[in-house]
């Protein structure tokens, strides 16, 4: 019998918050009669987070631990948790207690009500203005490019149908765009829920302002990969054709001009003395290179590896 809920929690140096978080999740599950599991993915913590996870898991079989050999990032941690989750509904949250487990029943109900993905919206945030203003700009651009009307793409508190997480692969820093990946993989029913954002109780934020720059680069990357992953020649071939054709036309025009001048007895500059000739050569070379890039990309997409990008050192309470 499938579990009702799998809670996936990436962990990086959160030794102080883990006992309180797991107790809180357990209380909420018990109050609402949910069968559940909590997957705690230790993403290369340098404190005693893994030892805390081991201790907690020894007292509660619903707690399951995954220990990475080093820090691979939030996307890798979520991907590992998704692959091992067995609940009908999969809920993700951060380990720093800023996401409230009391939101779990509401998120669960929205998924059971027919949605594929529900994203949390931290409408009232306990963050400095140096984070809130860039976040609003980032979310606005992402809405415009993706066409998904969410107010907070970066909120860690989200819920998914199990089928969704089993059919997407996240890597790099793509965790911000899971709703977008879900939509592009055939799961368009995406909703939003206003959730409580709590002030940080322990430790400090692990993310800096650079995540917003990385976020835009990732958005460009994920958009490009979605559009041209299966047909890279359509992108590189188009650019290559335009470049090669431009270079060819310029070169042909220069040569024709030279031949015409010679036939008419008119003095014409040598073709190689004209700067535009070298620009034409550059265009020809770039065009050929873009074509070759397209062919190589086609070969790579036809032989893609499915191996995960992270290494697991140890697992607890998991039979996978």
> Which CATH number covers residue 130?
3.90.550.10
Q: What is the pLDDT along the chain (320 residues), one digit of tens a residue?
A: 579 999 999 999 999 999 999 999 999 999 999 999 999 999 999 999 999 999 999 999 999 999 999 998 898 999 999 999 999 999 999 998 989 999 999 999 999 999 999 999 887 765 556 566 667 777 777 788 778 888 888 888 999 999 999 998 887 777 888 888 898 888 999 999 999 877 666 655 555 555 556 666 666 666 676 666 667 777 787 888 888 889 889 888 888 888 887 787 777 777 777 888 888 888 889 988 887 887 777 666 555 555 666 778 788 888 65
pTM above 0.85, yes or no: no
Residue 25 is encoded by which pair of tokens?
A: 């999740």
Q: Is residue 311 part of a domain?
A: no
309 — phi, psi (to 5°)? Answer: -95, 10
Residue 248's domain comprises 232-301
Which one, of 199, 126, 210, 110, lies nearest residue 158 by Cα?
110
> Which helix (H) or strand (E) segment is 117 a member of?
strand 117-121
Domain count, the chain: 2
243 — phi, psi (to 5°)? Answer: -65, -45
Sign of CA dihedral 219, 220, 221, 223: positive
Please tell me whether residues 123 and 40 are part of one structural domain: yes
Which one, of 76, 70, 60, lies nearest residue 26 by Cα?
60
Last residue of a domain, one of 200, 228, 256: 228
Please tell me whether residues 10 and 94 are part of one structural domain: yes
Last residue of a domain, one of 228, 245, 273: 228
Please tell me whether residues 220 and 267 are part of one structural domain: no
């Amino acid at each position: 019998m499938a579990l009702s809920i799998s809670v996936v929690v990436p962990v990086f140096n959160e030794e102080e918050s883990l006992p309180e978080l797991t107790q809180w999740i357990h209380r909420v599950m018990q109050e609402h009669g949910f069968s559940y599991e909590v997957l705690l993915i230790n993403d290369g913590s340098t404190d005693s987070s893994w030892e805390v996870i081991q201790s907690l898991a020894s007292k509660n079989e619903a707690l399951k631990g995954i220990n990475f050999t080093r820090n691979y990032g939030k996307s890798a941690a979520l991907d590992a948790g998704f692959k091992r989750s067995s609940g009908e509904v999969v809920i993700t949250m951060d380990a720093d207690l800023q996401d409230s487990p009391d939101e779990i029943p509401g998120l669960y109900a929205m998924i059971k009500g027919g949605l594929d993905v529900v994203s949390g919206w931290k409408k009232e945030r306990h963050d400095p203005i140096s984070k809130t203003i860039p976040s609003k700009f980032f979310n606005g651009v992402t809405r415009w490019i993706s066409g998904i009307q969410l107010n907070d793409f970066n909120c860690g508190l989200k819920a998914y149908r199990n089928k969704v997480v089993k059919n997407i692969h996240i890597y790099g820093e793509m965790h911000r765009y899971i709703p977008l990946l879900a939509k592009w993989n055939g799961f368009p029913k995406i909703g939003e829920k206003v959730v409580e954002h709590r002030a940080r109780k322990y430790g400090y934020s692990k993310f800096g302002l650079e995540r917003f720059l990385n976020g835009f680069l990732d958005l460009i990357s994920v958009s490009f990969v979605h559009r041209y992953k299966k047909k890279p020649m359509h992108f590189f071939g188009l650019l290559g054709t335009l470049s090669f054709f431009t270079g060819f036309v310029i070169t042909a025009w220069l040569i024709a001009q030279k031949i015409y001048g010679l036939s008419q007895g008119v003095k014409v500059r040598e073709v190689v003395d004209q700067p535009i000739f070298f620009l034409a050569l550059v265009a020809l070379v770039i065009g050929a290179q873009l074509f070759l890039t397209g062919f190589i990309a086609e070969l790579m997409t036809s032989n893609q590896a499915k191996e995960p990008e992270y290494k697991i050192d140890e697992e607890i309470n998991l039979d996978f």
